[in-house]
Chains A and B, each alone.
Chain A
Amino acid sequence: MTPWKNNRNEGREGDPVDKSKAKHWIDLPCDSRDVGTPDEWIPRDGRLVRLTGRHPFNCEPPTGELAKEGFFTPPNLHIIRNHGAVPQLSWETHIVKIGGVVPTPMELSMDELSGDYPNTEFPVSISCCGNRRKELNMVKQTIGFNWGTGAMGTCIYKGTLVRDLLIRAGIDPNDTVGKFVEFIGTDDLPNKAGDKGPFEDEPWGDKVKYGTSISLAHAMALESEVMIAFQCNGERLHPDRGYPCRLVIPGYIGGRMIKWLAQINVLTHESHNCYHYWDNKYMPPQVTAEMAAKDGWWYKQEYIINELSLNSVITYPNHNDTLPLATYIDKKIELKGYAHAGGGRPVTRVEISTTRGETWDLATIHRQEQPNPYGTFSNDDDEEKWR
């Protein structure tokens, strides 16, 4: 009965033909915790730590499992942030509408979206910006649930650039001033504001769809590589990851990368979607939930979170790991972990202190990502100089 299939894009140029990549999950039974929920049809990895009870599905892998995999994260171990039940969509019938102030509105099937445009494929780390929130909840409860350190993963995404879609819809890449691109998903979610919202022409109902917007300039910039992804690691997206297509904004927080994407609208204002305001905000610390709702803090756009924050985590030694003193006397321990920046910036150094910050030593960074080509030096001499 599932409208989602794992047989990828059979016959499509450039798609992997390695069936062995798909062999494991097919016989996977439903996770017993999903029985009786609307997500009962979805295969999930039992190692994932559930953070909001059985449903909706919000999970992160145990940090040790994430670290064992290293740079690339298997999709089944990737963090999932779902606000409600996973929509049951199909590649064959799903439509992405492109509208707003575009000269040529379009309705694209998945075959058209993936097949009629140049595709691009590269690795992106996606993280919920709630990663490490539990440390804050131990000081004072926030309005969010308890992420540990596993709310990040890295996969290779294949998709069509939003830039190419919008150019086909008639948008001039050099005419971006005062314009925004709105992205809206499929799922019907609770209205977080609890009222009609401040936009008289677009009142919010009891249920709203998850949506957000970014500047048109960012969406059209070649180096931003904002894409509508339809593949992850050579396979169609898993239902939890947005099947059949999702937005990927590299360097941004996962909360802006709309899953189950259904609408793309070019607007002359920011999105009026409820979740664009009532989520993903970095308020000043003195703002409480009551203040925020009463005094309009959710509508102060200077607190919006777009780019990921610089962060680092130790994964080895893991929590409660033990090492015998007698064995390790006069020996070294190899610490391990991950670090990331946001907005496309590289991490330049990672430092370790065993003296509570009095002194710092440089860790070895194992670089596996080749940055995108928009910073290429203009000639070979420059290249030599920097080696």
Chain B
Amino acid sequence: MTLYNHRDSNPLPTLCLNSKFFLGKYWCWVWWTFEVDTAQLQDEIWVRAWDTSNSPQPEKLTWTLMGQSSNHFFRVKVHIDTDENSGKPVYRFEHPTQPGQQTGGWATRIADKVPSAGYGKINYLQE
């Protein structure tokens, strides 16, 4: 295993879109960017993707026993806070959760639970 950091992590070939192959199979994610005017920012930023089945991701989550294939719209909340050090107003962005036992995230507050629900209340099935 090579330990890269992002400064030297690009020894690999960069591939490109070739329209000739559009009907071929795609096995990888894409990265995307979007420039947003700060004047446009309200309380949330949402993202959704579409594929060649011409269906988007669902807006609302569907809870299932195993919690897999979780793919509802990803929503980031936009807060206007006062920076503790400078005393000046800042935009603060809040994701729904943080992984594992890490705390924080608007979904953890809305759930009105401890920030992490921990590792499986029904442990006998996972273990």
Is B91 touching A310 in the complex (CB atoms < 8 A)?
Answer: no
Question: CB-CB < 8 A to A354: which residues of B?
Answer: 36, 40-42, 44-46
* A65, A312, A362, most chain B CB atoms within 10 A: A312
Is A285 touching B64 in the complex (CB atoms < 8 A)?
Answer: yes
Is B32 touching A365 in the complex (CB atoms < 8 A)?
Answer: yes
Question: CB-CB < 8 A to A377: which residues of B?
Answer: 20, 23
Q: In this assembly, does A386 line the interface, its C-beta being within 8 Å of a C-beta of chain B? A: yes
* Residue from the list B47, B68, B100 in contact with A352, Cβ < 8 A: B47
A57 to chain B minimum Cβ distance, whole angstroms, is 12
Question: Count the A-B residue pairs with Cβ separation under 8 angstroms: how many?
Answer: 448
- Is chain B's interface secondary structure helix, strand, loop, or mixed overall? loop
Q: In this assembly, does A309 line the interface, its C-beta being within 8 Å of a C-beta of chain B? A: yes
Cα distance A145–B117 in the bound complex, in angstroms: 9
Question: CB-CB < 8 A to B4: which residues of A?
Answer: 24, 69, 74, 76-77
Cα distance A63–B125 in the bound complex, in angstroms: 28
Is A129 touching B23 in the complex (CB atoms < 8 A)?
Answer: no
Question: CB-CB < 8 A to A103: which residues of B?
Answer: none
Quick one: given A319-B98, A325-B88, A326-B88, are A282 and B66 in contact (CB under 8 Å)?
yes
Among residues of B, the one whose C-beta sits closest to the C-beta of A58 is B100
Encoded as 1 (CB less than 8 Å from any A CB) or 0, chain B from 1 to 35 comes to 11111100111101111111111111111111111
B31 to chain A minimum Cβ distance, whole angstroms, is 5
Encoded as 1 (CB less than 8 Å from any B CB) or 0, chain A from 313 to 355 comes to 1100111111111101111111111111100111111111111
B115 to chain A minimum Cβ distance, whole angstroms, is 9
Quick one: given A147-B99, A329-B38, A344-B25, are A376 and B20 in contact (CB under 8 Å)?
yes
Mark B residues whose CB is within 8 Å of A.
Answer: 1-6, 9-12, 14-57, 59, 61-74, 76, 80-81, 83, 86, 88-102, 104-105, 107-108, 110-111, 113, 116-122, 124-127
Mark A residues whose CB is within 8 Å of B.
Answer: 6, 18, 21-22, 24-25, 28, 43, 45, 49-53, 60, 62-63, 65, 68-72, 74-77, 122-125, 129-150, 152, 154, 156, 190, 192, 194, 223-225, 233, 235, 238, 250-251, 253, 278-285, 287-289, 292-293, 305, 308-314, 317-326, 328-341, 344-357, 360-377, 383, 386-387
A-B contact pairs, 11 of them (CB 8 A): A129-B68, A144-B66, A145-B119, A147-B99, A152-B29, A285-B63, A322-B91, A330-B38, A345-B52, A374-B23, A374-B24
